[in-house]
Structure 1
Amino acid sequence: IIPLSIFRNHDLNGDFILFATTWGAFIAVNTYLPMWAQALLGMSALMGGMTLIPNSIVEIIASQTVATIQEKIRTFTLIMIGIVTMMISSCGLFLANNKTPLWMLIVVGAFSGIGVGFIFVGLQVKVQIDAGMKDMATATSTSYLIRILAQTVMAAVYGVIMNLALASGINSHSNITMKMMNELSDAKSAKLLPQYLLPEMRRIFHSGIHEIMAVSFILLIIATVFNFYFNFRQPNKKLNRSSK
């Protein structure tokens, strides 16, 4: 289905790797920010989902902004801006504790949306340019597949990290079970849990998110390395060539 010849394109491989690492990092914030609001702050699923609304809004604004600046700055710089803003989100949530107010979490999480907006437009157009007219359609669809696969794989990895953190935490507390930890993220179920155990349960849950954000930040460091390797020495490419 996918011709292996496109993977002999050095620049295109760099684009795919950057898509995989940045989208793998993005899914951490996108998945666990709502869970943070529910499990650590005791909010409903509706309120947890609403924490991502600012993230989506700034992502749209950022992607539209790229159209006006992409001719003035290098693709390397454009992607680097996106990576740095995503780092702000991952690092911010890594440093936050379970007493951090919701508004601050939302603001920190919104930076991830800015990064995704910048990286998506910059890299997607670069994929089309690097592929050329012959492989443009295949490369574009492959980049989409890689983003989906990266999110799917990393969502599973983050789930394993969370389960291991929860299991490690409850091993030292005979009164806390995995079933209770699973009920913590449901506002209604959480009210039925022993209230004196909630602070410790939230500490355990926070330790899992803490580790997930660390992995997300590491992925962004890897993305930074690959951005320098593949794009730093490249001449400035006209990003609007793909639309001609």
Structure 2
Amino acid sequence: MHMKKKLLLAVLAIGMLSTSSFATIICFTDAFGSSYQINATKTAPKYWTLSGEIGVGAAVPWPVDGYWDAFNQEFYITVSNPSPDGCTFYVDALNIWSTAWAPGTMSWNYEQVCDGAVVFTGTPFDLTYTNGACVGRSMEPDYSNSIFTVGFDEAAAVHYPLQVTETRTLDQILMEEEMSVNRMGDGFVFFSNVFTNSGAELIIYNHVGQQIAVLNGNGSNTIVWDGIATSGQMTDPGMYVAVMRSENEDVTVKFVK
């Protein structure tokens, strides 16, 4: 596989172009009972970098890094052992990828890595995904024989029933969480489906990071800022940053007034 190389080149290519970021929490739960809480951050059109962690029965959670390329329909993550033991019990890393999914469910391929080399390629397995944190979704899997352990016995592994609760595809979840902004007179109109979430708010900062205004969502998918600061004064022309926050999302966009 050459996906790691593709990931590096893609990040280098898009890193200088991105002026905004869109982050969404996705919880993946696999057939072996493990839950992966992953942050998807938009870094280019139809491209998200993935980061997060997973508890593997070890003292320190394993970090997750990867990408979701919606244009080429590619999903790839690496789960790394933060305390390698020479592959005496846990592997050094897992490479996971998928090219097959439906609303709320995916099929993952994986390979175990030790000392930089692939030592085992497993059979694809199913999992579910949904928007939001993984709180309460872990099924207390048996990590003594899992995809994270050396000599994993797939036939003897415990499989858990999966319940699909998400009706959207991964593309739809991530794209619906985006935010756009349009000028309206001296102010701006911000659009995002996330504004309909309970407790959603929009925070405006100036170019030096000072908080200028805070606006609360009202149940619609738009929030209007009239360009006036909380102090009651009209703000000056210049670069501003709008941060939309809700329970599961943290969306940022830069704009010029």
Judge same fold: TM > 0.5, yes or no: no
State TM-score, norm by structure 2.
Answer: 0.23
Higher relative contact order (CA 8 A, sep 6+): 1
Point out the structure with the larger strand share: 2
State TM-score, norm by structure 1.
Answer: 0.24
